[in-house]
Amino acid sequence: MPEIFVNYRSGDGEFAAAHIESYLSERFGDKLVFRDAKGAPGEDYRARLLREAATTSVLLVLMGANWSKARDEQGNLRLAQEGDFTRMEILNAMKAGARVIPVHCGRGLPHLTPAELPEELEALAYLNALDFDVRNAQDDLDRLASRLITLVPALQDDQAEEPPRSGDVHNYNSGNVDGTHVQMRDLHGGLTIGGPQATTHFNGPTYGNHHSGSGDQFNQGGPRGGDRR
């Protein structure tokens, strides 16, 4: 069962729908994001669309500049027709209690007014919307994903940063150091500094340059990995 359903109208939001579905599928997993293009060959797409819309957690309604004005060949408003799939998917999601989120596809698109919508869809005019603009695509997609994470507990964010993990590199300094001791990146092996002449002992393989005389000491090693203590 998908957690996110991408609803759009042909001729108004195909590009945005494909872009948003691809991004969300990659981030949250293909099985949790649905768009009509995912129907299987020979499958009754009508039943599939209505079923998925009625069982999704969030339905994204992608709205271009002409979304509410689209008409058929006879000049009839499509949103007012009972057989219009864009309309049916939205109504099914609303009846099932899904969160419906308008997504304005374009820069500076105004919010809809109730007068622009059939009575059954007037609730759309009062819903807070998000924006998607191809000129600001990455930021808008990241913002959309962040909002969805807070709304849908089932979503697993593959791009969340993992906390640092403990590795197998541990650096210990013991004894006195005359002057400044600066370690840059990693030291592999033991390090003991002490004695009246600030003698340095390396009890294991080290990488990088090491100065063991008097005065300041600067150690610079290879790529860092694991803990730095």
CATH 3.40.50.10140 maps onto the chain at: 4-151
Q: What are phi and psi of 150, to 5 degrees?
A: -75, -20
User: Strand (E) positions, the chain?
Assistant: 4-7, 33-34, 58-63, 99-105, 130-132, 173-174, 181-184, 190-194, 199-203, 217-220
27 Cβ contact partners less than 8 Å away, ≥ 6 residues apart: 145, 157, 158, 159
pLDDT in tens, 68-87: 999 999 999 999 999 999 99
CATH topology of domain 4-151: Rossmann fold (3.40.50)
Q: What are the tokens at 104?
A: 């304005």
**pTM reported for the whole predicted model:** 0.69
pLDDT in tens, 187-215: 445 444 455 554 444 445 544 554 555 55
